[in-house]
Structure 1
Amino acid sequence: MQSVAAAIRAALLTADPRAKCFAARDVARRWRRGELAWQFDAAMPDQPAWPERPELLPPNRMPKRGKFGSERARIALWHSLAHIEFVAIDLALDMAGRFGEAMGREFVSDFLHVAADEAMHFALLARKLESLGSHYGALPAHGGLWEAAHSTRHDVAARLAVVPMVLEARGLDVTPVTLERVTAAGDDHGAKILSRILDDEIRHVGFGTKYFLKCAENAQKPADSMWKALVQEHFRGALKPPFNDSARLAAGLSREFYEEVAL
């Protein structure tokens, strides 16, 4: 029987986007069915395999999208969202494979579920791009999304603090605004995709918060102060309002965590 670690590593080292989606969902399904052994005999790669396209650029070199109503801007929006979800597949897989042995079976189950969700999100967004006459890889993409994972590869609490509780929580803040714009433009199909993603991401942030609270309990530290210290150490950006307080609270992320460190 293949080990869960080996299956996760194989998915991480799958470069083709469609094949990676299939691999992530297959690992989650095989784990759920009890077809993978509880063994961590394969190390996670420092960086997953990615396709040659899109070209990855630093944030300050990313081209401007232009006005929202233009065709170019619409394609750029959906391409950006697709790239975020593509990298999110690897973030969830790496979380389960790198820290699962120490954190336990439920942790692995939850983050493999996240990986399968992210694969589904990417597939929806890739099809959306194709309906607009484009495809994933047609435009440059943000090259720094994996940095947070790499910099926290030796500390599960830091990874949880930065990836689900900062980066994914930021998605809870910005997605409703994007949803309003897409709805106002008459794109009902796009609005349904974004609504599905928002609902799922609340649960994903909730998983991160749940396990971070366990880490804080095990360390016998106040969760909010521990989170702030880890964010200040490992997150290079800034936490900027406005915040979607209701969605964050639904994910277990109260204002006590982020209010004092917001700019």
Structure 2
Amino acid sequence: MELYNWAHQILTSTKLEDKLFSPTKLTDTLVKSPLLIKEPARSYEMRFQKRSSSEKLPPFHEHHLEDKRAICLHRFAGHELLAVEIMAYALLAFPQAPKSFRKGIANTLKEEQSHVKIYLTRMQEMGLSLGDLPLYKHFWSHVKFFTDPLKYLSAMSLTFEMANLDFAPHYKSSFERYGDFASAKIFDTIIKDEINHVSFGYSWLAKLKNKNQSSWDAYTEHLNPLLSPKRSKGFIFQSDLRKKANIPNDWIEKIRQA
């Protein structure tokens, strides 16, 4: 399947199975102009809803309740689906980007699809389906700023995905504390893949940035107005996971202090 057509299907189909379809073979030969999709097509059940201040994730002290843990997994599945759609957006928006960059995004997208699937499987065991609870636009509100690959990388790989290097271990340990090892195990996969995704982002930032600019300056310059380096970390800072993602020590300290 052609990469362009695959990304287009993900963003224009309202069917979840189309968004999660992962071709065994992908080609990238079509010559296309950039296509900017304003918003992904979704079924009524998966539509974006406005979030009220009361609809926050359950606090950690409520994780002893299965329904609260299920709510967390539903929210995370929604985040992963957004990541799938945003990466498809990048494939359509940057058709002239290096082929190896586009291939890397495609591989990352496939892993995000697998994350959605493992969340959905566990949610089903807990009696919950995607769309049973509201789904929010969240990360998609940043897409309008993705006018070049560096802005995409700075937001997705080096802010949102890097923050998950902190959040995923935190939720894993909390779920384990209350004996939900089936859900906790999901985060092992998430952490392993996020390390690779962050590493991909840093590697390509270094390749695409102005050669006279430091990687940190390139990162902060290409962050959109809604973001700051502080958004690239969670509650409990994981230096070791960032090191595994090949993030330099000076970066790690700047993020820690942000």
TM-score range, shorter chain: 0.7 to 0.9
Q: Does 1:76 align with 2:76?
A: no
Change (3 A) 1:99 1:219: farther
Contact 1:9–1:43 (Cα < 8 Å) also in 2: no
Distance 1:196 1:62 in 2: 27
Q: Does 1:246 align with 2:256?
A: no
In the TM superposition, 1:118-137 aligns within 5 A as: 118-137=112-131
The normalised TM-score by structure 2 is: 0.87
Q: Any idea what SS the aligned residue of 2:70 has?
A: helix
- 2:177 maps to which of 173, 180, 184: 184
Contact 2:13–2:42 (Cα < 8 Å) also in 1: yes
The alpha carbon displacement at 1:123 in A equals 0.7
Contact 1:129–1:135 (Cα < 8 Å) also in 2: yes
* Paired-residue identity, %: 18
In the TM superposition, 1:1-263 aligns within 5 A as: 3-22=2-21, 25-26=22-23, 29-31=24-26, 34=27, 36-41=28-33, 43-54=35-46, 55-58=48-51, 60-63=53-56, 65=58, 67-101=62-96, 103-152=97-146, 154-216=147-209, 218-231=210-223, 233-235=225-227, 238-239=230-231, 240=233, 242-257=236-251, 259-260=253-254, 262-263=257-258
Contact 1:161–1:208 (Cα < 8 Å) also in 2: yes
The alpha carbon displacement at 1:166 in A equals 0.3
Contact 2:220–2:229 (Cα < 8 Å) also in 1: no
Contact 1:161–1:231 (Cα < 8 Å) also in 2: yes
Contact 2:9–2:19 (Cα < 8 Å) also in 1: no
Contact 1:6–1:41 (Cα < 8 Å) also in 2: no
Q: Deviations over 1:91-148 (max 9, x none)?
A: 22222332242x2111111111111111111011011111101111111233321112
The normalised TM-score by structure 1 is: 0.86
Q: Bigger shift: 138-147 or 233-242?
A: 233-242
Distance 1:19 1:5 in 2: 14
Unaligned runs of 5+ in 1: none
Distance 1:73 1:46 in 2: 33
Change (3 A) 1:44 1:197: same
Distance 2:20 2:139 in 1: 18
Change (3 A) 1:30 1:42: farther
Q: Any idea what SS the aligned residue of 1:142 has?
A: coil
Contact 1:12–1:48 (Cα < 8 Å) also in 2: yes
Q: Bigger shift: 11-20 or 158-167?
A: 11-20
Cα root mean square deviation, aligned:
2.4
Aligned residue pair count: 252
Contact 1:58–1:144 (Cα < 8 Å) also in 2: no
Change (3 A) 1:148 1:39: same
Q: Deviations over 1:34-56 (max 9, x none)?
A: 4x524225624122222323452
